[in-house]
Each structure stands twice: as structure tokens, then as C-alpha cells.
Amino acid sequence: MQNVNLYIETSIHGPAKKPGSYIYILECVRNGEARTRDGRGAIGETTENALALTALAEAVQRITEPCSLRVFTRCEHILNVMGNHWARQWRKNGWRNAKGSPVKHAELWEKALCGLDRHCCLFTDEEHSYTRWMQEELKRNRRKPA
């Protein structure tokens, strides 16, 4: 099984709703050589959770074969949800949480889970070698006129 790393960074941190952008890098090592693909996007009036979840859903759709996937994100919401297996429980409960309330961003969670279901996944907030570059890219893109 191939090892793949997914690195996610967002321009928004915390619950504040404002325009934001995301960037992700998919890294696969083949024959001792790292190969990467990246993606990015922007959303008006959103939160860190929605940005990181959008990046996750988009990135996992690009992985064509089952793999051992390690996801690096600083989004505490995604780390908690995936670490506690809540998303799969929400899906079983018709996208309702333990209190019976509708889950925010259920359609993004469904898209992410559809992509994650065939992989062996680990989520972590560890620092990585792409962090600074990704943060600089987000800052540079934020300054560009629309």
C-alpha cells in the first residue's frame, strides 16, 4: 500500500467568518522520490473549519488508489471529529449530531468521507516541511487583487 501525505493550510484560524483561502499538498514517495500535487481555492465569508474541510474533501478526491494516508492539519475541529470517529457516526444518524441537531457542512463531510473510506487514515497536527511555504503562499495570494 502506497504512503501518501496530505498537508492542509488555511488563511483563517478560529471561528470568525470572513473571506479565506486554502492550500493543500498531496505528497507521494515513489522509488525514493517525492512527487507532489497541490490545490488551492478561496471562499467568501467562511470559517477555518469550512476551508479545511473543503481542502480535505477536494484533495482526497484526487487520490486514485487505496493508500495509507497521513493528513496534516491545524484545524482542531477536523482533528477532533476524525480522532473521535464522529463523522461516521453522524453519517449513520442521517447527519445529526449526538444532540440530534443537524451537522454543519454535512455535504462537505459526506464528500470527504467518500474519499477517505478506502484509505487507512491518520490525522495529525504535527509541523511539517511545507508549513512555511504554504503560509507564505496564502499571504501572497491574499494581497493579490481579485
pLDDT at 31: 78
pLDDT at 141: 76
What digits encode the pLDDT tens for the residues 74-130?
Answer: 999 999 999 999 999 999 999 999 999 999 999 999 999 999 999 999 999 999 999
- Joined together, the cell numbers standing for residue 145 give 487583487
What digits encode the pLDDT tens for the residues 3-57?
Answer: 999 999 999 998 889 999 999 999 998 777 889 999 999 999 999 999 999 999 9
Distance of alpha carbon 110 from alpha carbon 90, whole angstroms: 10
Distance of CA 86 to the CA centre of its chain: 16
Spell out the domains of the chain, with CATH numbers in brackets.
2-143 (3.30.420.10)
